[in-house]
Structure 1
Amino acid sequence: MITLILLTGFSPMSLNMFLPALANIAVDLNTDYGTVSWAVSGYLAITAVIQLIVGPLSDRIGRRPVLLVVLFVFAFASVGCAFAPNIVAFLFCRMLQGGIVGGYALSLAIVRDTRTAREAVSLIGYIGMAMAIAPMVGPMLGGVLDTLFGWRSVFGFYAVAGFGLLLLCWFDLGETRPQRATDASTPAPGTMMLIRELLFWAYALCGALSVGAFYIFLTGAPLVAQSAFNVTTAGLGFYIGTITVGFMIGGFLAGRVGKHFEPTTMMIAGRVMACSGIVGGLLLLASEIMSAEIFFASTIFVGLGNGMTMPGCNAGAMSVRPDLAGSAAGLSGALIVAGGAVVTTVTGNLVSQTNGAQTLLMLMLASTGLALAFAIWAAWLSKNRV
């Protein structure tokens, strides 16, 4: 359990822990901020591709060897970033660091390999709490390291942690791939079989749209907080963090009760909760009863609902074809990243200073409502599946 939590939590930390040092990296490597920001945008694109490769490959040759390889590559790539003499070398090694996302995808597959669908919902709920804590801790730790020892120390930390995770998995993690996933199967045909399953798409799209509402919030909340409610920068950090707290609570609830219900039941409950909060916020906004506290109180329900929904989405997607759990985890993760890129672009173009609060809530409601529709579809397909 501890190993899986560390693997899962380190994936978001690999994305955001070095963010406070971006400006210093640009100065030290004699480049502009736009170029060094590829360490974020390019990294996200690479992680989507890596998940599409790692998941099916783990179905082919096993979870353990694939996981050990991606951790090995991440650790050495971190060393390369720490000693990079120029921006080209830095970005090349940074892209190789994307392999750590395999730790997240394969952790989910390992949970499904060793648990029933209902038990997986519960365990993934608890693991999701680590996913919520890591993004909060990462930037703070990265900022301290950059201030005290310089930006290269952040990647030194990545390297030490990568090698530590490698040793931990070497001794603690055995092979969990189901025996029926025989060596005769190949990644491409296995993925194609999964893609043809409508039930998989219902689970995966529900998850992607649920997280999409979170990406919409992150993109539009800073502008809305400043233009509509005159929130200070310090206050903004607090308010943005509330949705993460909601996710942690939702993950805890899923962990406590998830094993007693079908995955689709948890998904629908989470979607209804998220929609209810946003609808309440829109009604209060229309009634001109609105403040920063009320606005962000309504959006916290999205985090709470996501915490309840995502374990069911992940467990359900990997249960459609348990022998292809790795492929399902990888493809679902790639859809979340790709969907996040789309909704953040749309949000950035639509949310403005004049209509920010209403537009942001409506976009979040659209994403959450569509996720609810897919959750209901998943329940119907699951019930009528032969």
Structure 2
Amino acid sequence: MKHLPPPTFLNKETPPHIFTLVAIAGVTAIPLNIFLATLPAMAEYFDTPNSMMQLAVSGYLALTAVIQLIIGPLSDRYGRRPVMLGALAIFSLASVGAALSQSFVMFMIFRAFQTAASTGMAISRATVRDMVARDKAASLIGYVTMGMSLAPMVAPPIGGFLGAAFGWQANFYVLTAAGILVFALAYFDQGETNINKSTSIGAQFRAYPELLSSRRFWGYAATNAFAAGTFFAYLGGAPFIAKEVYGLGPSTIGIYLMITPIGYMLGNGISGRFATTMGIERMLMLGGITTVLPMLISMAVIAAGVTHPLGLFAFTFFIGFGNGMVLPSANAGLLDVNPHLAGSASGLGGAVLTFGGAILAGFTGYLMVDSTTAIPLVACIFASSFIALITSIVTIRIERAVRIAT
């Protein structure tokens, strides 16, 4: 491994403390769901159909995919620290603009610039791989995302209460404050970990074919995308199902949306504790099965006529729990394909994940238009989780074949 000094908190000459990694990863998660409970209210404010307002989620995810394609090579060329600081500054300014928007078009322009926050997840993963080896990286990513999962866990209910009390704009002022605070933390604590920077940005983009031709990379990236796709499909349909099918208000929707991040935090804890000893292959299988089976049960419960919101939301715990085990290991696997291209691999893998997520969120949102049941939503989540399980099995076989060949 590269020789880096141990982290010292608030010392920008050493690698970042785990608290800082959690913060810069968390600022990626909050913009995605803090305002979900107020989406119907935002649609009314902008006099925009719900299907168009859904672009605030699916469009955000699509642009995040593009951003991560660029961020990875930039961080390999110029370093993790300057790229992260620049992204946080853009995000903070864009959040103010979104809060002040008077039209849907203006809001979406500023929302597009908010995607700079997505830099946090790619940079935190690449930083972890700079610091430690593969199985340990899965463990550390698990701990980072366990802490990060507190953000999407508390953000929906806070966003729901803020929206009910002060209007949807309050959520974007909170995002502004979060961006400024994390910028200050990163400035004083995030030391540079990329000590072998590439010679040119062109060289970094030319390295993409090495990743694109790797079956291991695509296996892990596909597993990553379809596993996370369960969460994005859920985001694409749950707020409107909660309002239109179950008749819930913003604050109650926010509370139900906490269930999935709670599961994610616990799943991340399992990864952090056991990934090093169990290995990433077992974690991939365990997490995949943990998501698939509960979704089948949820469909059966709803089809049987259960009309209480828990017929859907109780089972969404396992979306988070399964992802909490799958995603750290899948990310560690794709970063290990070529450790010298950790930033590029993190960015490209993140782009595949978020682009796929944008498609699933948009498709699920489309299916939810005029829907009178949650079954289409659960079916989308099940399909994505089942494909993720299959790609995990295929990737494990590829990984074992590579080990035998070498």
Return the TM-score normalized by structure 1: 0.83
- Give the Å deviation of 1:236: 5.7
Q: Distance in 2 between matches of 1:76 and 1:220?
A: 29
| Distance 1:148-1:329 versus aligned 2 partners, 3 A rule | same
Report the residue type matching 2:234 in the other structure: F
1:320 maps to 337
* Equivalences for residues 329-368 of structure 1 within 5 A: 329-348=346-365, 356=373, 359-368=376-385
1:183 maps to 199
Greater CA deviation, 88-97 or 167-176?
88-97
Write out per-residue CA displacement over residues 39-90 of structure 1, whole angstroms, 9 at most, x where no aligned residue.
5444333222111110121112211121121112223333444566776655
1:207 maps to 224
Q: Distance in 2 between matches of 1:323 and 1:214?
A: 30
- Give the Å deviation of 1:299: 4.2
2:7 maps to none
Q: Distance in 2 between matches of 1:240 and 1:152?
A: 20
CA contact (8 A) 1:56 1:191 kept: no
1:33 maps to 48
Tell me if 1:197 matches 2:230: no
How many residues get paired? 381
Q: Distance in 2 between matches of 1:316 and 1:73?
A: 31
2:4 maps to none
CA contact (8 A) 2:64 2:355 kept: no
Report the residue type matching 1:209 in the other structure: F
Q: Distance in 2 between matches of 1:97 and 1:148?
A: 24
Aligned counterpart for 2:295 among listed residues 272, 278, 282: 278
Tell me if 1:242 matches 2:262: no
Report the residue type matching 1:12 in the other structure: A
Classify the secondary structure of the residue corresponding to 1:277: helix
Q: Distance in 1 between matches of 2:328 and 2:364?
A: 26
CA contact (8 A) 1:212 1:340 kept: yes
1:8 maps to 25
Aligned counterpart for 1:254 among listed residues 271, 275, 291: 271
Q: Distance in 1 between matches of 2:267 and 2:242?
A: 24
Write out per-residue CA displacement over residues 279-322 of structure 1, whole angstroms, 9 at most, x where no aligned residue.
44456678x59675565544433321111111101111111111
1:64 maps to 81
Q: Distance in 2 between matches of 1:217 and 1:318?
A: 27
1:118 maps to 135
| Distance 1:37-1:221 versus aligned 2 partners, 3 A rule | closer
Tell me if 1:96 matches 2:113: yes
CA contact (8 A) 2:241 2:374 kept: yes
Listed as ranges, the gaps of 5+ residues in structure 2 are 1-17
Classify the secondary structure of the residue corresponding to 1:75: helix
Listed as ranges, the gaps of 5+ residues in structure 1 are none
Report the residue type matching 1:32 in the other structure: D
| Distance 1:214-1:81 versus aligned 2 partners, 3 A rule | closer
CA contact (8 A) 1:218 1:240 kept: no
Classify the secondary structure of the residue corresponding to 1:119: helix
| Distance 1:186-1:137 versus aligned 2 partners, 3 A rule | same
Q: What is the Cα-based RMSD across aligned positions, in Å?
A: 3.5
Q: Distance in 2 between matches of 1:14 and 1:289?
A: 35
1:165 maps to 182
- Give the Å deviation of 1:328: 1.7
- Give the Å deviation of 1:232: 5.0
Greater CA deviation, 32-41 or 130-139?
32-41
- Give the Å deviation of 1:226: 8.0
1:370 maps to 387
CA contact (8 A) 1:224 1:353 kept: no
- Give the Å deviation of 1:201: 0.7
1:266 maps to 283
Tell me if 1:133 matches 2:150: yes
Greater CA deviation, 360-369 or 236-245?
236-245
| Distance 1:168-1:196 versus aligned 2 partners, 3 A rule | same
Report the residue type matching 1:117 in the other structure: R
Q: Per residue, is there more helix in 1 or in 2?
A: 1
CA contact (8 A) 2:65 2:354 kept: yes
Greater CA deviation, 34-43 or 5-14?
34-43
| Distance 1:355-1:139 versus aligned 2 partners, 3 A rule | closer
